[in-house]
Amino acid sequence: MKKDIKIPEVTDVEIAVVYEFNNEYKTDDWNIYIINKKNIDLELVVIVSQGFNQTKATSILRKKIDKLPANSFAKVEFIQPELFKLHNRFHVTFFEGNTLHEKTFLFEKDTVKEGALRMIPELNKRGILAS
């Protein structure tokens, strides 16, 4: 039966951490975004995030997006800079058509810093893409 299960490879979906100015609070914040570079809408997107290392783990956070339109993006959550000392994992599941897809994205500890920021064209903002 295992041989009959087909797990499609996820392409053209990214998780990014972006350093941006918050107009409301007049602060520079780090935010997590999901980017849909596909020409098709993603439905019932669920993002489960957690920071961890060998001795610590943060609470698990869950975010649901009913529909992420084709060639668009959505802000997922604010992330505190103190968490960059941990590995930060984002497990993403979604439906593309009638097919369930899943992928885990990871920001390794100490890799998110201002010096590593690059322009992300889809967002028109500077950030870092998860591996």
pLDDT bracket for residue 2 (50, 70, 90): low
Taking only the tens place, the pLDDT of each residue in 64-91 is 999 999 999 999 999 999 999 999 999 9
The distance in angstroms from the start CA to the end CA of the chain is: 31
CB 92 within 8 A of CB 45: yes
C-alpha 112/C-alpha 17 separation (Å) is 8
Whole-structure pTM value: 0.93
* Interatomic CA distance for residues 103 and 30, integer angstroms: 22
What are 11-40's pLDDT values in tens digits?
A: 999 999 999 999 999 999 999 999 999 999
